[in-house]
Amino acid sequence: MPAADVVARILTPEIRARLFQPTGSATGLPGVAYTDRDFFDAERDLTFSRNWVCAGVAGDVPAPGHQTPIEIAGIPLLLVQGADGVIRAFHNICRHRGAQLVAAPTEGRAVVCPYHAWSYALDGTLLRTPSFCGPGVHGHDGFDPAAHGLRRVRCETWGPLIFVNLDMDAAPLGDLLAPLKARWAGYDFGLLRAGGGLRFELAANWKLAIENFVERYHLPFVHPQLNSVSSVKHTLHITDGERFVGVGSRNFAPPPVTPAHPLPTFPGLDADALKRAEYVELFPNVMIGVHANHVYAFIIQPVAVDRTVERFEFFFIGDAAMRPEFSAARAQMIDLIALVNGEDIDIVQRLQIGCRSPAMSGSVFSPVMEDTTHKFQKIVVERLLADAGL
């Protein structure tokens, strides 16, 4: 069934009407939006194929020649850092017979197909087709190598984040990012230095992981330790974005590690910003946590309707932050997320189980604490309808 028909079947006019009510009287998406395989496929074909999707971080292709396979919307892609330092994305298939080119991160001066050894420059240009027309005969008059370079995919970066868009006609990433860049203009992302990562797998739909992330109502109940360093009392909500939504804390105050080596902070922050933390979901699949002394990217990779891979990448501020005396302070931030996200996984998986119930006809939302989760669901629906042409 075409994706647009699936969207129309699941997101009935009644469901849409109930969702687009004020938060206190709205009804959220029904369980079927998290369990239906056709709906998941429609999300891949629309949401993840027509929007800028976070595909990884600069450290995935850290130097010229590095090649890393990824999957977006179930489609095999390849990230490559060119000789010119530019990160590009290609369909990860050979122009000869379509073999997957790169199966695991590698490096080299060319992309070489393992099947018949066709090779491509790092910018995708077809270089060699060895013995294509018999031993020692590498081509024929009717074959134009220039027309058989790797198929490009749109690829742009923001700081250390890599985004791809399978829609060649999409508006530039910069248009989408402008409001968020303006919000965080005081934070120089050029100073970010990669300092570690975490990976989780969970048995839940990708949207549930995000819905959980953008509300702090559950902090006292699920995350007592986090609530002690970043109390729900100091919560702020970020609901003015068209494609982003988030929460934050006016007082993010983890205890100092011993011996005390406070992490370097972004320069030029005022007293409020030094205590502030913001956690923004940039639709569809990356959440960015911005603190005075570190930033993390929480990248969501939908694998199946009820299976999601989560990846956190941590960044600290400037070269100095990477010195050994700050290792305990860096580890503190990573360990906090390891703890908190571990706590979240159990809850999010319970949400998935709840979605399997025919009684799950849609949530009610706290108008005070969950306008963010409500807004995320509205963005999901708005984008699906727009991308489906409905």
CB of 284 to ligand FES, least distance (A): 32
Q: Which stretch binds ligand FES (CB under 6 A): 80-88, 90-98, 226-234, 289-297?
A: 90-98
Q: Is the Cβ of residue 115 or residue 221 nearer to ligand FES in the bound state?
A: 115
CB of 287 to Fe ion, least distance (A): 11
CB of 69 to ligand FES, least distance (A): 15
143 binds ligand FES (CB under 6 A): no
Residues 329-348 that bind Fe ion (CB under 5 A): 344
CB of 317 to ligand FES, least distance (A): 44
CA distances from residue 242 to 48, 78, 161, 172 in whole angstroms, order as listed: 17, 30, 20, 16
Binding test (CB under 6 A) with ligand FES, winner from 17, 25, 103, 116: 116
Which residues are CB-contacts of 242 (< 8 A; sequence separation ≥ 6)? 179
345 binds ligand FES (CB under 6 A): no
Q: Which stretch binds ligand FES (CB under 6 A): 21-29, 94-102, 276-284, 361-369?
A: 94-102
Q: Which does 37 bind (CB under 5 to 8 A by kind): ligand FES, Fe ion, none?
A: none
Binding test (CB under 6 A) with ligand FES, winner from 99, 110, 236, 269: 99
Binding test (CB under 6 A) with ligand FES, winner from 37, 97, 109, 152: 97
Partnered with residue 314 across adjacent β-strands are 296
138 binds ligand FES (CB under 6 A): no
118 binds ligand FES (CB under 6 A): yes
Q: Is the Cβ of residue 127 or residue 229 nearer to ligand FES in the bound state?
A: 127
How far from chain centre, in Å, is Cα 48? 11
Task: Give the footprint of ligand FES on this chain (CB under 6 A).
Answer: 94, 96-97, 99, 113, 115-116, 118
Task: Give the footprint of Fe ion on this chain (CB under 5 A).
Answer: 344
